[in-house]
Amino acid sequence: MKNVLPSDAELYEALIAREVRWDGRAFVGVTSTGIFCRLTCPARKPKRENCRFLDSAAACLEAGFRPCRRCKPLEHGMEPLVASLVQALEADPGRRWRESDLIALGHDPSTVRRAFRRQLGLTFLELARLRRVQEGLSALGGGDSVIGAQLTANYESASGFRAAMARFLGLAPGAFRTDASLQATPIPTPLGTMIAVCDTDRLHLLEFMDRRALAGELQRLANSSPDGLGCSRRPIHDLIEMELNAYFAGEAVSFKTPLALHGGPFEREVWRHLQDIPRGETRSYGQIASAMGRPGASRAVARANGLNQIAIIIPCHRVIGADGALTGYGGGLHRKRALLDLEHTPQPQTGIPAP
Protein backbone atom coordinates (compact mmCIF):
# COMPACT_ATOMS: atom_id res chain seq x y z
CA MET A 1 0.00 0.00 0.00
CA LYS A 2 2.39 2.65 -1.25
CA ASN A 3 0.00 5.57 -1.69
CA VAL A 4 -1.97 7.22 1.08
CA LEU A 5 -5.46 7.61 -0.33
CA PRO A 6 -8.09 10.10 0.81
CA SER A 7 -11.49 8.99 2.08
CA ASP A 8 -13.73 6.78 -0.05
CA ALA A 9 -16.25 9.63 -0.19
CA GLU A 10 -13.67 11.92 -1.79
CA LEU A 11 -12.54 9.24 -4.20
CA TYR A 12 -16.11 8.46 -5.22
CA GLU A 13 -16.62 12.15 -6.04
CA ALA A 14 -13.42 12.01 -8.08
CA LEU A 15 -14.75 8.93 -9.88
CA ILE A 16 -18.02 10.67 -10.76
CA ALA A 17 -16.14 13.77 -11.93
CA ARG A 18 -13.46 11.70 -13.72
CA GLU A 19 -10.74 13.81 -12.08
CA VAL A 20 -7.49 13.44 -14.01
CA ARG A 21 -5.32 14.16 -10.95
CA TRP A 22 -6.13 10.67 -9.59
CA ASP A 23 -5.41 8.86 -12.85
CA GLY A 24 -2.96 6.08 -12.08
CA ARG A 25 -2.82 7.01 -8.37
CA ALA A 26 -6.09 5.37 -7.34
CA PHE A 27 -8.28 2.66 -8.84
CA VAL A 28 -11.82 1.47 -8.23
CA GLY A 29 -12.81 -2.19 -7.97
CA VAL A 30 -16.49 -2.82 -8.65
CA THR A 31 -17.69 -5.68 -6.47
CA SER A 32 -20.86 -6.25 -8.50
CA THR A 33 -18.91 -6.97 -11.71
CA GLY A 34 -15.45 -8.02 -10.51
CA ILE A 35 -13.88 -5.36 -12.76
CA PHE A 36 -11.44 -2.61 -11.76
CA CYS A 37 -11.02 0.74 -13.52
CA ARG A 38 -9.15 3.99 -13.53
CA LEU A 39 -11.11 6.83 -11.95
CA THR A 40 -11.26 8.50 -15.37
CA CYS A 41 -12.97 5.50 -16.99
CA PRO A 42 -15.77 6.68 -19.34
CA ALA A 43 -17.95 3.66 -18.51
CA ARG A 44 -21.19 4.02 -16.56
CA LYS A 45 -20.42 4.74 -12.90
CA PRO A 46 -21.15 2.04 -10.30
CA LYS A 47 -23.18 2.56 -7.15
CA ARG A 48 -21.21 3.80 -4.17
CA GLU A 49 -21.83 0.62 -2.16
CA ASN A 50 -20.28 -1.46 -4.96
CA CYS A 51 -17.00 0.48 -5.01
CA ARG A 52 -13.72 -0.53 -3.41
CA PHE A 53 -10.84 1.93 -3.84
CA LEU A 54 -7.27 0.67 -4.08
CA ASP A 55 -3.91 2.34 -4.54
CA SER A 56 -2.49 0.32 -7.43
CA ALA A 57 -3.43 -1.97 -10.29
CA ALA A 58 -1.41 -4.70 -8.59
CA ALA A 59 -3.55 -4.40 -5.47
CA CYS A 60 -6.67 -4.73 -7.62
CA LEU A 61 -5.37 -7.92 -9.19
CA GLU A 62 -4.42 -9.29 -5.78
CA ALA A 63 -7.96 -8.55 -4.62
CA GLY A 64 -9.35 -10.66 -7.44
CA PHE A 65 -10.58 -7.91 -9.78
CA ARG A 66 -10.14 -8.13 -13.56
CA PRO A 67 -8.91 -5.14 -15.60
CA CYS A 68 -11.48 -3.09 -17.50
CA ARG A 69 -11.11 -3.50 -21.24
CA ARG A 70 -12.33 0.03 -21.84
CA CYS A 71 -10.00 2.14 -19.68
CA LYS A 72 -7.14 -0.43 -19.58
CA PRO A 73 -5.92 0.25 -16.05
CA LEU A 74 -2.88 -1.97 -16.46
CA GLU A 75 -1.24 0.86 -18.37
CA HIS A 76 -0.62 2.42 -14.95
CA GLY A 77 1.35 1.22 -11.95
CA MET A 78 3.06 -1.85 -13.44
CA GLU A 79 6.29 -2.61 -15.20
CA PRO A 80 5.68 -3.29 -18.89
CA LEU A 81 6.77 -6.93 -18.50
CA VAL A 82 4.32 -7.56 -15.67
CA ALA A 83 1.51 -5.66 -17.36
CA SER A 84 1.87 -7.53 -20.65
CA LEU A 85 1.81 -10.95 -18.98
CA VAL A 86 -1.13 -10.05 -16.73
CA GLN A 87 -3.01 -8.92 -19.83
CA ALA A 88 -2.22 -12.25 -21.49
CA LEU A 89 -3.42 -14.08 -18.40
CA GLU A 90 -6.68 -12.14 -18.21
CA ALA A 91 -7.30 -12.70 -21.92
CA ASP A 92 -7.21 -16.47 -21.31
CA PRO A 93 -7.47 -17.17 -17.55
CA GLY A 94 -7.91 -20.90 -18.14
CA ARG A 95 -4.64 -21.37 -19.98
CA ARG A 96 -2.16 -23.82 -18.45
CA TRP A 97 0.91 -21.62 -18.29
CA ARG A 98 4.39 -23.18 -18.04
CA GLU A 99 7.90 -21.76 -18.02
CA SER A 100 8.27 -22.98 -21.60
CA ASP A 101 5.42 -20.63 -22.58
CA LEU A 102 7.34 -17.69 -21.12
CA ILE A 103 10.48 -18.72 -23.00
CA ALA A 104 8.45 -18.98 -26.22
CA LEU A 105 7.35 -15.38 -25.68
CA GLY A 106 10.98 -14.32 -25.38
CA HIS A 107 11.03 -13.93 -21.59
CA ASP A 108 13.55 -15.25 -19.12
CA PRO A 109 11.54 -17.16 -16.46
CA SER A 110 13.79 -15.98 -13.61
CA THR A 111 13.36 -12.34 -14.67
CA VAL A 112 9.60 -12.81 -14.82
CA ARG A 113 9.63 -14.49 -11.43
CA ARG A 114 11.53 -11.63 -9.79
CA ALA A 115 9.40 -8.94 -11.43
CA PHE A 116 6.12 -10.49 -10.29
CA ARG A 117 7.38 -11.10 -6.76
CA ARG A 118 8.54 -7.49 -6.60
CA GLN A 119 5.20 -6.03 -7.69
CA LEU A 120 2.60 -8.58 -6.65
CA GLY A 121 4.26 -10.71 -3.98
CA LEU A 122 3.83 -13.95 -5.96
CA THR A 123 5.16 -15.42 -9.18
CA PHE A 124 3.36 -15.33 -12.52
CA LEU A 125 2.78 -19.09 -12.47
CA GLU A 126 1.38 -18.85 -8.94
CA LEU A 127 -0.94 -16.04 -10.05
CA ALA A 128 -2.09 -18.09 -13.05
CA ARG A 129 -2.94 -21.07 -10.85
CA LEU A 130 -4.67 -18.81 -8.33
CA ARG A 131 -6.83 -17.22 -11.05
CA ARG A 132 -7.99 -20.61 -12.31
CA VAL A 133 -8.94 -21.80 -8.85
CA GLN A 134 -10.65 -18.47 -8.10
CA GLU A 135 -12.76 -18.91 -11.22
CA GLY A 136 -13.84 -22.36 -10.04
CA LEU A 137 -14.49 -21.25 -6.46
CA SER A 138 -16.55 -18.26 -7.60
CA ALA A 139 -18.61 -20.53 -9.85
CA LEU A 140 -19.28 -22.91 -6.96
CA GLY A 141 -20.21 -19.98 -4.74
CA GLY A 142 -22.62 -18.77 -7.40
CA GLY A 143 -24.48 -22.08 -7.37
CA ASP A 144 -22.87 -23.86 -10.31
CA SER A 145 -22.52 -27.62 -10.24
CA VAL A 146 -19.05 -29.09 -9.88
CA ILE A 147 -19.02 -29.80 -13.62
CA GLY A 148 -20.11 -26.23 -14.35
CA ALA A 149 -17.39 -24.84 -12.10
CA GLN A 150 -14.87 -27.14 -13.78
CA LEU A 151 -15.82 -25.74 -17.20
CA THR A 152 -15.76 -22.17 -15.88
CA ALA A 153 -12.21 -22.72 -14.66
CA ASN A 154 -11.31 -24.33 -18.00
CA TYR A 155 -10.14 -27.65 -16.60
CA GLU A 156 -10.25 -30.36 -19.22
CA SER A 157 -10.76 -33.23 -16.78
CA ALA A 158 -12.89 -33.56 -13.69
CA SER A 159 -10.02 -35.30 -11.92
CA GLY A 160 -7.67 -32.38 -12.65
CA PHE A 161 -10.18 -29.88 -11.30
CA ARG A 162 -10.82 -31.95 -8.19
CA ALA A 163 -7.09 -32.29 -7.60
CA ALA A 164 -6.50 -28.54 -7.95
CA MET A 165 -9.36 -27.66 -5.62
CA ALA A 166 -8.24 -30.32 -3.17
CA ARG A 167 -4.70 -28.93 -3.10
CA PHE A 168 -5.99 -25.39 -2.67
CA LEU A 169 -8.89 -25.89 -0.28
CA GLY A 170 -8.03 -29.20 1.33
CA LEU A 171 -11.11 -31.03 0.00
CA ALA A 172 -12.64 -31.93 -3.36
CA PRO A 173 -15.37 -29.63 -4.75
CA GLY A 174 -17.82 -32.54 -4.75
CA ALA A 175 -17.61 -32.42 -0.96
CA PHE A 176 -19.25 -28.98 -0.94
CA ARG A 177 -22.84 -29.19 0.32
CA THR A 178 -25.43 -26.46 -0.04
CA ASP A 179 -27.07 -27.52 3.23
CA ALA A 180 -23.83 -27.62 5.26
CA SER A 181 -23.66 -25.72 8.53
CA LEU A 182 -20.34 -24.14 7.55
CA GLN A 183 -20.18 -22.15 4.32
CA ALA A 184 -17.03 -20.75 2.64
CA THR A 185 -17.09 -17.59 0.53
CA PRO A 186 -14.27 -15.57 -1.11
CA ILE A 187 -14.01 -11.93 -0.02
CA PRO A 188 -11.83 -9.54 -2.07
CA THR A 189 -9.56 -7.14 -0.15
CA PRO A 190 -6.84 -4.67 -1.23
CA LEU A 191 -4.22 -7.21 -0.11
CA GLY A 192 -5.70 -10.20 -1.90
CA THR A 193 -8.76 -12.42 -1.83
CA MET A 194 -9.62 -13.95 1.54
CA ILE A 195 -11.74 -16.98 2.41
CA ALA A 196 -14.35 -16.56 5.13
CA VAL A 197 -16.02 -19.63 6.66
CA CYS A 198 -19.18 -18.93 8.64
CA ASP A 199 -22.17 -20.69 10.13
CA THR A 200 -25.46 -18.87 10.66
CA ASP A 201 -24.12 -16.96 13.68
CA ARG A 202 -20.32 -16.86 13.78
CA LEU A 203 -17.13 -16.54 11.76
CA HIS A 204 -14.92 -19.65 11.99
CA LEU A 205 -12.09 -18.76 9.62
CA LEU A 206 -10.75 -15.72 7.76
CA GLU A 207 -7.55 -16.31 5.80
CA PHE A 208 -5.84 -15.14 2.61
CA MET A 209 -6.43 -17.61 -0.20
CA ASP A 210 -2.73 -18.20 -0.84
CA ARG A 211 -1.87 -19.02 2.79
CA ARG A 212 -0.08 -22.35 2.78
CA ALA A 213 -1.87 -23.60 5.90
CA LEU A 214 -5.33 -22.86 4.46
CA ALA A 215 -5.91 -26.33 3.01
CA GLY A 216 -5.31 -28.02 6.35
CA GLU A 217 -7.43 -25.51 8.22
CA LEU A 218 -10.38 -26.01 5.88
CA GLN A 219 -10.01 -29.77 6.06
CA ARG A 220 -10.11 -29.67 9.86
CA LEU A 221 -13.20 -27.48 9.80
CA ALA A 222 -14.93 -29.80 7.33
CA ASN A 223 -14.07 -32.82 9.49
CA SER A 224 -15.32 -31.11 12.64
CA SER A 225 -18.71 -30.34 11.11
CA PRO A 226 -21.29 -33.15 10.98
CA ASP A 227 -22.42 -32.05 7.54
CA GLY A 228 -19.13 -30.92 6.04
CA LEU A 229 -18.48 -27.63 4.30
CA GLY A 230 -20.45 -25.67 1.72
CA CYS A 231 -19.64 -22.81 -0.63
CA SER A 232 -22.34 -20.17 -0.39
CA ARG A 233 -22.97 -16.85 1.32
CA ARG A 234 -24.46 -16.19 4.75
CA PRO A 235 -25.44 -12.89 6.45
CA ILE A 236 -22.30 -13.17 8.59
CA HIS A 237 -20.26 -12.98 5.37
CA ASP A 238 -21.93 -9.66 4.58
CA LEU A 239 -21.10 -8.34 8.05
CA ILE A 240 -17.43 -9.27 7.97
CA GLU A 241 -17.04 -7.94 4.43
CA MET A 242 -18.57 -4.62 5.49
CA GLU A 243 -16.21 -4.42 8.47
CA LEU A 244 -13.19 -5.34 6.33
CA ASN A 245 -14.13 -2.63 3.83
CA ALA A 246 -14.14 -0.08 6.64
CA TYR A 247 -10.86 -1.41 8.03
CA PHE A 248 -9.06 -1.19 4.69
CA ALA A 249 -10.52 2.29 4.17
CA GLY A 250 -8.43 3.32 7.20
CA GLU A 251 -11.23 3.48 9.74
CA ALA A 252 -10.55 2.47 13.37
CA VAL A 253 -12.96 -0.45 13.25
CA SER A 254 -14.20 -2.20 16.36
CA PHE A 255 -15.05 -5.58 14.85
CA LYS A 256 -18.48 -6.84 15.93
CA THR A 257 -18.54 -10.09 13.92
CA PRO A 258 -19.10 -12.98 16.40
CA LEU A 259 -16.21 -15.44 16.38
CA ALA A 260 -15.99 -19.21 16.81
CA LEU A 261 -12.54 -20.02 18.21
CA HIS A 262 -11.08 -23.45 17.45
CA GLY A 263 -8.37 -23.89 20.05
CA GLY A 264 -7.61 -24.96 23.58
CA PRO A 265 -7.69 -22.73 26.69
CA PHE A 266 -4.08 -21.56 26.24
CA GLU A 267 -4.56 -20.66 22.56
CA ARG A 268 -7.78 -18.80 23.34
CA GLU A 269 -6.05 -16.82 26.06
CA VAL A 270 -3.29 -15.82 23.65
CA TRP A 271 -5.84 -14.79 21.03
CA ARG A 272 -7.68 -12.68 23.60
CA HIS A 273 -4.42 -10.87 24.38
CA LEU A 274 -3.86 -10.34 20.64
CA GLN A 275 -7.25 -8.62 20.45
CA ASP A 276 -6.18 -6.37 23.31
CA ILE A 277 -3.23 -4.94 21.31
CA PRO A 278 -4.34 -1.43 20.28
CA ARG A 279 -4.34 -0.43 16.63
CA GLY A 280 -1.07 1.27 15.79
CA GLU A 281 0.93 -0.71 18.37
CA THR A 282 2.84 -3.99 18.43
CA ARG A 283 3.88 -6.52 21.05
CA SER A 284 6.60 -9.15 21.20
CA TYR A 285 5.94 -12.79 22.04
CA GLY A 286 7.70 -12.22 25.36
CA GLN A 287 5.53 -9.23 26.23
CA ILE A 288 2.38 -11.24 25.60
CA ALA A 289 3.70 -14.13 27.67
CA SER A 290 4.47 -11.74 30.55
CA ALA A 291 1.02 -10.15 30.29
CA MET A 292 -0.45 -13.64 30.64
CA GLY A 293 1.63 -14.26 33.77
CA ARG A 294 3.76 -16.84 31.90
CA PRO A 295 7.09 -15.04 31.27
CA GLY A 296 8.79 -18.22 30.10
CA ALA A 297 6.16 -19.17 27.54
CA SER A 298 7.33 -17.08 24.56
CA ARG A 299 7.64 -20.11 22.26
CA ALA A 300 4.19 -21.40 23.23
CA VAL A 301 2.77 -17.93 22.56
CA ALA A 302 4.46 -17.91 19.14
CA ARG A 303 2.93 -21.31 18.35
CA ALA A 304 -0.56 -20.16 19.42
CA ASN A 305 -0.10 -17.00 17.36
CA GLY A 306 0.62 -19.16 14.30
CA LEU A 307 -2.47 -21.28 14.94
CA ASN A 308 -4.78 -18.27 14.70
CA GLN A 309 -7.10 -18.79 11.72
CA ILE A 310 -9.03 -15.52 11.94
CA ALA A 311 -6.70 -12.97 10.40
CA ILE A 312 -6.97 -9.22 11.01
CA ILE A 313 -9.84 -9.50 13.53
CA ILE A 314 -7.51 -11.43 15.82
CA PRO A 315 -4.50 -9.28 14.88
CA CYS A 316 -1.59 -11.70 14.95
CA HIS A 317 0.12 -9.31 12.49
CA ARG A 318 0.73 -6.96 15.45
CA VAL A 319 3.17 -9.43 17.04
CA ILE A 320 6.85 -8.91 16.24
CA GLY A 321 10.17 -10.31 17.39
CA ALA A 322 11.97 -9.10 20.50
CA ASP A 323 14.51 -7.31 18.25
CA GLY A 324 11.79 -5.47 16.35
CA ALA A 325 11.89 -7.74 13.30
CA LEU A 326 8.55 -8.53 11.66
CA THR A 327 9.10 -12.32 12.01
CA GLY A 328 6.80 -14.75 10.22
CA TYR A 329 3.23 -14.20 9.08
CA GLY A 330 1.05 -16.81 7.40
CA GLY A 331 -0.30 -14.30 4.89
CA GLY A 332 3.21 -13.20 3.88
CA LEU A 333 5.55 -10.59 5.32
CA HIS A 334 4.60 -8.11 2.58
CA ARG A 335 1.02 -8.22 3.86
CA LYS A 336 2.11 -7.94 7.48
CA ARG A 337 4.03 -4.78 6.73
CA ALA A 338 1.14 -3.41 4.67
CA LEU A 339 -1.31 -4.03 7.54
CA LEU A 340 0.98 -2.27 10.01
CA ASP A 341 1.42 0.59 7.56
CA LEU A 342 -2.35 0.86 7.23
CA GLU A 343 -2.65 1.05 11.01
CA HIS A 344 0.13 3.69 11.11
CA THR A 345 2.29 1.48 13.30
CA PRO A 346 5.86 2.80 13.82
CA GLN A 347 8.33 0.20 12.53
CA PRO A 348 12.06 -0.03 13.24
CA GLN A 349 14.23 -0.43 10.17
CA THR A 350 16.35 -3.26 11.58
CA GLY A 351 15.32 -6.73 10.49
CA ILE A 352 12.42 -5.71 8.24
CA PRO A 353 12.68 -7.58 4.95
CA ALA A 354 11.43 -6.08 1.70
CA PRO A 355 8.03 -7.32 0.53
Query: Hey, is 169 helix, strand or coil?
Result: helix
Active site residue 316: yes
DSSP sequence for 273-285? HHHTSPTT--EEH
In 3D, which of 59, 57, 61 has the Cα closest to residue 23? Answer: 57
Question: Within a 10 A sphere around the Cβ of 255, how many other Cβ atoms?
Answer: 19
Q: Do 37 and 30 contact (CB within 8 A), yes or no?
A: yes
How is 217-266 classified by DSSP, letter by letter?
A: HHHHHHHHSTT-EE----HHHHHHHHHHHHHHTT--------B---S-HH
Q: Is 231 annotated as a binding residue?
A: no
For 233-242, b where at least 16 C-beta lie within 10 A, e where not — what string? bbebbebbbe
To the question of whether residue 71 is assigned a binding role by annotation, the answer is yes
Question: Which of 37, 51, 60, 231 is the catalytic position?
Answer: 37
Pairing of strands 194-198, 182-187: antiparallel
Distances (CA, A) of 123 to 76, 82, 339: 20, 10, 21
Per the annotation, the verdict on 37 as an active-site residue is yes
In whole angstroms, give the CA distance from residue 331 to residue 191.
10
Of the residues 51, 60, 198, 316, which is catalytic?
A: 316
User: Helix, strand or coil for residue 137?
Assistant: helix
Q: What's the gap between Cα 137 and its chain centre?
A: 14
Residues annotated in a binding site: 37, 41, 68, 71
Residues annotated in a binding site for Zn(2+): 37, 41, 68, 71
Tell me which residues are annotated as active site: 37, 316
